[in-house]
Chain A
Amino acid sequence: MISFNLLVLVSLAYVAFLFLVAFAAERRAALGKTGWLRSSTIYTLSLSIYCTAWTFYGAVGYAARSGLEYLTIYLGPTLVMIGWWWLVRKLVRIGRTQRLTSIADLISSRYGKSTVLGVMVTVLAIVGTTPYIALQLQSVTQSIGVFAASSGEAWMPRDFNSAAMWVAVGLAVFTVAFGTRNLDAHERHHGIVLAIAVEAMVKLFALLAVGIFVVWGIAGGVGPTLDLIDASAQSQLRPIAGRWIGLIFVSAGAFLCLPRMFQVLVVENSDERALGTAGWAFPAYLLLMSLFVVPIAVVGLDLMPEGANPDLFVVTLPLSEGRQGLAILSFLGGFSSATSMVIVATLALATMVSNHIIVPSWLNARTPGAVVSGDVRRVVVISRRISIGMILAFGYIYFRLSGGGTALAVIGLVSFMGVVQVLPAMIGGVFWRGANRWGAGAGLMVGFTVWAWTSFLPSFGIDAAISHSVFENGPFGIGWLRPQALFGITGLDPFVHALFWSMFLNTTSFMLVSILTFPNPLERLQGAQFVNVFDYSSGARTWSQSAAQAEDLLVMAQRILGGTAAQETFRAEAKSQGKVGFLPDVTPDFIGRLERELAGSVGAATAHAMIGQLTEGTIVSVEDLIAVADETAQIMEYSSELEAKSAEQERTARALLEANEMLTTLSIQKDAFLSQISHELRTPMTSIRSFSDILRDGEVEDDVRKRFAGIIHEESNRLTRLLDDLLDLGVLESGQVQLNLGQGSLADVLDRAVIASGADTGKLKIMRKPANEAVVVNTDLDRLAQVFINLISNAAKYCTSATPQLRIIVREIGGNTVVDFCDNGEGIPNESQSMIFEKFSRLEDEGKAGGAGLGLAICRQIMGALGGDVTYLPGQGGAAFRVTLPQTQALAAQ
């Protein structure tokens, strides 16, 4: 009989052996001899942590209960490794280029370094994995219990519990020892990987040994075994299509999404080529692991007493046959399965908790801007250790609370389905650039909630987490929310039901929200880096840790600082080191100083990235590039600001110049105007003075005196008119003219103008078409009449024809009413037409007719004030002016 002490001794010896293996591997790795530690064999064997105690013990129980269905758990990963190798390869490539540390890091990193998503995945992983860790502890205590029962010793239940606790503590110590030894940027743990590879061999060897013993030692060969299988009730079980598809899908998804699988598959992968070997070797390993499951189950059911737990046949069968050595080997196989899973799962979870929850909180709690350097490493190590302890404590507490009642396979499936909720966000993130953080967050939330409601909470049993009435009637009596009949769909297998709804709602919300929202720039970049990872990265690249080359640095510095300045800096440094020439030793001090100097020219981020590339051989990360782009944008913005400023100054200068020119012009115009005014005023005054002198000084004949008095009278009238015009123009030009709006007929206004101009009594013959003049105008009628009077008077004064005529024509042109005044004189020469509306532009040749040349200027000002216009119409035979009435008048007329 095997005593409890012997069992403990064997276990301790085994654990000590594992410590040794791991320690040796770490030593080799530390010495740089990682050659065979990175081999594809080790990689393939490390993948075997997929086979936990659940597969080791539980598969037999599963087969005993449900026949061949247990195979689905092996088929999922097999399909992934054979059929989806390109997906695995892509994940591995992304993991390496992005230096991912966990699945939470993958999701967070892909979706723009989202902290929230990292936390969500971490929480999901903890909730999904804790029961699984409890399961491993349970399997260890159960197998110990088997030995207790067979030895007849009366072990107290608390011994089971303390055994589980000691196992948990031991695992924590192991994980802390080898999982947090050094903080490699690549998160690779050679010691742990080698230890679990050894454990993989142990469990395979143990299971094969038990299988061979069962087939050839108990059943008596392959033939009898097959007969036994044919006769068993299990052979009658037919596969249920829905469950098979669902199970294969879940195990395939879990193979990719389980934190521990991601750890060994992606994070611990140091050579992409190892995937090639693992692609066939791992399925082969799974095949061997599953080979003897059915024989052991069938033979066990046949031989063992009714009610024996089929989950433990692997140990109980050899024991019942008295093969204690084989039983201990089998126990060690199960122990290996359990411990390797717990170690890697704990390590992966601790990394996630530490990186996504503890360290960010710690950094946030610190004063912003504080220098972060060496102390971060210490914080990270401590937080990892605490996380490891916490996670194992969770597992242990869960184990104690659940009481070990549930079948192993059920816990496993619930756990698998939980972590598979990450799958849509992961696959979408890797293949679909449109996926964004809102979509990923929504999908995770929905999937996690539905999973918890339909699968996780019900797994505690009826009335444990969800009451019986809720199962029957739904929460608050809402029938379509029943945990196992969502949306009123009943009759589905609970597993298929939960899987379908959680994945369907998860994927749908992920895609819909992704389509409806927009990713931020960092997300876009990361999306491109993930989806097109093979375009961005080269093949299996290994860069040598190139030593900093003073020459490289000099070349770069010259490019940025300019030849002389760079050479001066380097020469000074070399001189201070006591060397001659331009190439000093590259000390950290010097690198720091050089970086600061370069930062002055190209910005801190750029300088850091450049120096980093030369001195440490690091590659430039996306964040570096974004920082560089930000800086460049800032510099460009600054320079464009400068440009804008100088353009502004130029504009101002130009405006000043123009204003100055205008002032000069105005001043010249003012001089010209004053001189003109002076001339116009002095001329009549000269006549008045001269003639009044004559009349005063001497005797003048009567008729001559009368004539001279007449001239004086005329000239003083002329002066008055001129002053009136000047004042009128002044008012009009200042824009302060008071308009006296009224309504009247255009014909009336024209009649008044003809009479006021005095043209009707003179030589000028005026021709009108009264029919066209029946237009109602709504304007300042006096001002309009003033314009008409001016134009008619001009015709009367200046028309050169012997029989002067003036045609006044009213018509409609383009919606405007126009009044044309055309005489039959010589008209105005082309070169003068442009200036007749200027002040004092009286054509000198015709100046004898009197008037100061202000009339047309006044007309133009008046029409401008009324909202119309007056223009010269060339090519009409004689002088022709067109008065365009304001638009509103035309409208009012209709």
Chain B
Amino acid sequence: MGQRVLLIEDEPNIIEAVSYILSKDGWTVHTHSDGETAMEKVMQGVPDLIILDVMLPGRSGYDILRDLKAQETTADVPVMMLTARGQAKDREMAIDLGATRFMTKPFSNAEVLESVRALATR
């Protein structure tokens, strides 16, 4: 265990909730709340899993996802997208860009945990 999860999300309450449940499940959770500097944060230490919000200040989650897939070091890191826009085209776009999972807010904690576990053990 002890795998590292990077949560990129701008809503403080959501950051707190997700961090809480993942920590309790034994994950090492890092958080980052700005889109523009998100790639730098990733490059500082490539995590085992990235949870990425779509609507971020400075830079959209899709752009960041595109960058992650383009970089050799991060291309294989599984990415779980979170979004408050639950429309079908958002999901399609995320999968097309290479997201491993797509989750619409609001989500249940069980769902999040299950997805994180599934992705990390692959």
Contacts and interface: CB of A to CB of B under 8 A. Distances in A.
Contacts of B57: 844-845, 847
B57 to A, nearest CB: 4
B17 A690 contact: yes
A686 B21 contact: no
B84 A679 contact: yes
Given A845-B57, A848-B12, A694 B86 contact: no
Contacts, number: 67
Residue among A683, A688, A690 facing the most chain B CB atoms (10 A cut-off)? A690
Contact of A847 (B10, B106, B109, B110): B10
Interface in B7-60: 10-14, 16-18, 20-21, 24, 55, 57-58
A691 B13 CA distance: 9
Nearest to B82: A686
Contact of A693 (B10, B11, B84, B109): B109
A694 B106 contact: no
A461 to B, nearest CB: 118
B108 interface: yes
A706 interface: no
A690 B21 contact: yes
Contacts of A697: 109
B87 A690 contact: no
Interface in A675-699: 675, 678-691, 693-694, 697-698
B10 to A, nearest CB: 7
Contacts of B20: 694
A683 B110 contact: no
B105 A683 contact: yes
B111 to A, nearest CB: 10
A624 interface: no
B85 interface: yes
A675 B84 CA distance: 8
Residue among B14, B84, B108 facing the most chain A CB atoms (10 A cut-off)? B84
A869 interface: no
A271 interface: no
A691 B18 CA distance: 9
A687 B10 contact: no
A711 interface: yes
A690 B55 contact: no
Given A683-B11, A848-B12, A691 B84 contact: no
A284 B19 CA distance: 138
Contact of A690 (B12, B14, B85): B14
Contact of A685 (B12, B106, B109, B110): B106
B106 A679 contact: no
Contacts of B13: 684, 687, 691, 711, 715
A687 B18 CA distance: 9
B108 A682 contact: no
Contact of A687 (B17, B108, B110): B17
A675 B104 CA distance: 13
Contacts of B14: 683, 686-687, 690
Contacts of B87: 675, 678
Given A678-B85, A693-B110, A698-B24, A686 B16 contact: no
A686 B106 contact: yes
Residue among B55, B104, B106 facing the most chain A CB atoms (10 A cut-off)? B106
Contacts of A681: 84
Nearest to B112: A690
Nearest to A847: B57
Nearest to A718: B13
B108 A689 contact: yes
A460 B20 CA distance: 137
B34 to A, nearest CB: 10
Contacts of B12: 848
A798 to B, nearest CB: 14
A689 B107 contact: yes
Interface string B69-91: 00000000000000011110000
Contact of A694 (B17, B55, B84, B85): B17
A698 B21 CA distance: 10
B21 to A, nearest CB: 6
B87 to A, nearest CB: 7
B16 A711 contact: yes
Contact of B86 (A682, A693, A715, A845): A682
Contacts of A694: 17, 20-21, 109
Contact of A682 (B16, B58, B106): B106
Contact of B18 (A682, A690, A845): A690
Contacts of A682: 84, 86, 104-106
A777 B24 CA distance: 59
Contacts of A691: 13, 17
B84 A690 contact: no
A679 B54 CA distance: 10
Interface string B93-122: 000000000001111111000000000000
Contact of A678 (B84, B108, B109): B84
A873 to B, nearest CB: 26
A683 B107 CA distance: 11
A675 B93 CA distance: 15
Closest A-B pairs by Cβ, 3 of them: A690-B17, A682-B84, A687-B13
18 contacts: A678-B85, A678-B87, A679-B55, A682-B86, A682-B104, A684-B13, A685-B105, A686-B14, A686-B84, A687-B11, A687-B13, A690-B14, A690-B17, A690-B18, A690-B107, A691-B13, A694-B17, A848-B12
Given A687-B14, A690-B14, A847-B57, 19 more contacts: A675-B85, A678-B86, A678-B87, A679-B55, A679-B85, A682-B104, A683-B84, A685-B105, A689-B107, A690-B21, A690-B106, A690-B107, A693-B109, A694-B17, A694-B20, A694-B21, A694-B109, A848-B10, A848-B12
